[in-house]
Amino acid sequence: MAARGQGLEQDFDFFVVVDFEATCVKDARIFPQEIIEFPAVLVDSATGRIESTFRRYVRPKHHPVLTQFCRELTGIRQEDVDGNVDLGEALWLHDTWLKAATAGAGNKRRVRLAIVSWGDWD
């Protein structure tokens, strides 16, 4: 076992930590819930250092107008999502960011990633 403060050998080169925000209503479930904020950080598994960050607001398709509850809970304004990218483009932008952010990861043919969520709802 590693001593406190010492790292453990990891099977992954990086952790991709995501913390999605989604459409919501007070005291009920909204269906379908849609991602409205797509943030991620790339963490080096060996050092614990944040190597890069990504953040995009996403325009919801099924519930384009955010509820007051949702705006207050998330801090996301209607203008943050209006005219922004849809989920498909957000995923493409995230993939492009991730490839660029890990491009300098040594001479490895493949970079090993683990996706980690920041909350119960992600």
**Domain boundaries of the chain, sorted by first residue:** 14-117
Q: What is the pLDDT of residue 113?
A: 94
CA 34 to CA 61: how far, in whole Å?
8
Return the H-helix or E-strand segment holding 68: helix 68-74
Q: What is the pLDDT of residue 5?
A: 56
* DSSP, res 120: T
Buried residues in 86-115 as b, exposed as e (16+ CB within 10 A): ebeebeeebeebbeebbeeeeeeeebebee
Which two three-digit tokens encode residue 86?
């849809």
Q: What is the pLDDT of residue 106?
A: 63
| pLDDT averaged over 10-residue windows placed end to end, the chain, 122 residues | 58 95 94 97 95 98 97 98 98 97 76 88 62
CATH architecture observed for domain 14-117: 2-Layer Sandwich (3.30)
Q: What is the pLDDT of residue 1?
A: 43
Q: What is the pLDDT of residue 117?
A: 94
